[in-house]
C-alpha cells in the first residue's frame, strides 16, 4: 500500500494489532476446516471448528485479545453460509480428495530463506500440486470477483521462487485461500510477478541503507499509526531513523 509504511515497520518494533489477531483467527479456522469437509453435518462441524479456532487463537495471543478473537468468531458465524457454500463448491469441483490435499497440506508455516535471492518468508501452507511443491496463502480478506489480488500474486511469486530453490523444482502455480466467503483461487506464477517481487526486494534493500521512500496517501493513513512521523520532512526523518 505504501513504501514508507514498510520503512517504519523495519525500524520499529512491530506490535500485535487487532487486524493481525483477526487474520490469525481466520488462519486457525482454515486449519480446522478439514473436519467440516468430511462431516455429514457441516453446520455443527463448522461451529466446532470456530470454537477450536477461538481456543487456539487465545492460546497464541493471550486473553488480552479475547474480545478481538470473539469478534472474529462472530464474524465467521455470520458468514457461515458463504464459507460452507464455498467449501461445498470446491468439493464438488475437485472432489473430496482434491480438497483434502489443500486442507491437510504437506506442511504449514514453512519458513524459507534464500541467500542468493535475499528474500525470506513464512508460507502459510505448502501442498503438492501435480507432484510439485506449491505455496498457498491464507487470506482473511473476502475474495475478489475474479482471480486474486495483485498483492497476493506478488507474494505467491516470491514464495514460489523460495520453494523452487528449496526443493530444486520449478514451481509454476500457487493458490490463495480466501477464508471469509470461502474461495480457493489458483494463480499461475508469471515472470512479471517474479520481477515485481524482486523489484520490491530492491526497494527494501534501499530502505535499509537509510533511503526514505515517498509516501502513498490513501484511506489507510488514518489507521497507520505513523501519521505524525510521516508528516516530517524526509531529510529529517531519514536522520532520525538511520
Q: What is the per-residue pLDDT across 205-240, written as a single tens digit (0 to 9) for each?
A: 888 777 777 777 777 777 676 767 777 665 544 554
The CA–CA distances, whole Å, from 19 to 39, 68, 78, 113 equal 30, 9, 18, 26
Closest CA to 212 of 242, 234, 231: 234
Confidence (pTM): 0.85
Q: What is the per-residue pLDDT across 10-46, written as a single tens digit (0 to 9) for each?
A: 776 667 889 999 999 999 999 999 999 999 999 999 9
Q: How far is CA 47 from the centre of its chain?
A: 23
Q: CA–CA separation, 130 vs 89, rounded Å?
A: 21
End-to-end CA distance of the chain: 23
Banded pLDDT at 241 (limits 50, 70, 90): very low
pLDDT averaged over every residue in the chain: 89
Amino acid at each position: 500500500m505504501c513504501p514508507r509504511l514498510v520503512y517504519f515497520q523495519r525500524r520499529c518494533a512491530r506490535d500485535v494489532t487487532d487486524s493481525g489477531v483477526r487474520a490469525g483467527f481466520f488462519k486457525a479456522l482454515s486449519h480446522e476446516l478439514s473436519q467440516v469437509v468430511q462431516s455429514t453435518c457441516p453446520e455443527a462441524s463448522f461451529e466446532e471448528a470456530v470454537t477450536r479456532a477461538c481456543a487456539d487463537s487465545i492460546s497464541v495471543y493471550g486473553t488480552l485479545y479475547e474480545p478481538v478473537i470473539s469478534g472474529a468468531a462472530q464474524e465467521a458465524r455470520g458468514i457461515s453460509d458463504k464459507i460452507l457454500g464455498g467449501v461445498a463448491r470446491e468439493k464438488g469441483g475437485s472432489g473430496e480428495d482434491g480438497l483434502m490435499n489443500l486442507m491437510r497440506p504437506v506442511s504449514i508455516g514453512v519458513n524459507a530463506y534464500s541467500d542468493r535471492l535475499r528474500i525470506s518468508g513464512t508460507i502459510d501452507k505448502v501442498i503438492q500440486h501435480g507432484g510439485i511443491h506449491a505455496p498457498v496463502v491464507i487470506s482473511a480478506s473476502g475474495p475478489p470477483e475474479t482471480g486474486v489480488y495483485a498483492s497476493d500474486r506478488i507474494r505467491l511469486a516470491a514464495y514460489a521462487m523460495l520453494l523452487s530453490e528449496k526443493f530444486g523444482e520449478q514451481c509454476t502455480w500457487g493458490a490463495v485461500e480466501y477464508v471469509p466467503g470461502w474461495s480457493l483461487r489458483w494463480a499461475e506464477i508469471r515472470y512479471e510477478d517474479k520481477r515485481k517481487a524482486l523489484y520490491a526486494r530492491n526497494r527494501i534493500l534501499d530502505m535499509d541503507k537509510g533511503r526514505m521512500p515517498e509516501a502513498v496517501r490513501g484511506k489507510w493513513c488514518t489507521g497507520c499509526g505513523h501519521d505524525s512521523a510521516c508528516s516530517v520532512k524526509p531529510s529529517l526523518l531519514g536522520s532520525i531513523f538511520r
